[in-house]
Amino acid sequence: DAGITQSPRHKVTETGTPVTLRCHQTENHRYMYWYRQDPGHGLRLIHYSYGVKDTDKGEVSDGYSVSRSKTEDFLLTLESATSSQTSVYFCAISDLRGQGDEKLFFGSGTQLSVL
C-alpha cells in the first residue's frame, strides 16, 4: 500500500478512553489525511495535514484531533472514545492538492471498536 503503515490494525477499547492511531509514510508526500469508512457513508474526511504542524478539519472532525510533528507521521487521537466512533479508519497520502489531479494512496486501515 504505497509505503503507508497504519498501527494498530485492530483496536478494541472502552467508552471514555483515549485512543491514538498512527500513520507512517515513506513516500515523503506533503499531504496526509485521515478518513473513516462506515456502511452507507463511504469515506468521510476527518482531518488532513498539508505540512509539519499544519492541519485542518474535514467534514467529520468533532471528537477527533490530529498532530503531525514529522513529515512521515500523522497521528489521529480520539480524546474520549464513544461508540459512534466505532469504524474503520484509513490514512491516505498525496503529493498534490487543489490542482485537479489528486491521486490518493491509502493505508490498510485500522478497525476500531468502542464498547
Partner 1 sequence: GENVEQHPSTLSVQEGDSAVIKCTYSDSASNYFPWYKQELGKGPQLIIDIRSNVGEKKDQRIAVTLNKTAKHFSLHITETQPEDSAVYFCAAIISSGTYKYIFGTGTRLKVLA
Site residues, partner 1 (CB under 8 A): 1, 4, 40-45, 90, 92, 97-109
Residue pair 86/113 in contact by the 8 Å Cβ criterion = yes
Q: What angle do CA 81, 19, 111 make, to 5 degrees?
A: 85
11, three cell numbers: 483496536
Nearer to partner 1, 15 or 41 (CB): 41
Nearer to partner 1, 32 or 109 (CB): 109
Residue pair 101/94 in contact by the 8 Å Cβ criterion = no
Nearer to partner 1, 79 or 97 (CB): 97
Report in angstroms how near the CB of residue 68 gets to partner 1 at its nearest: 19
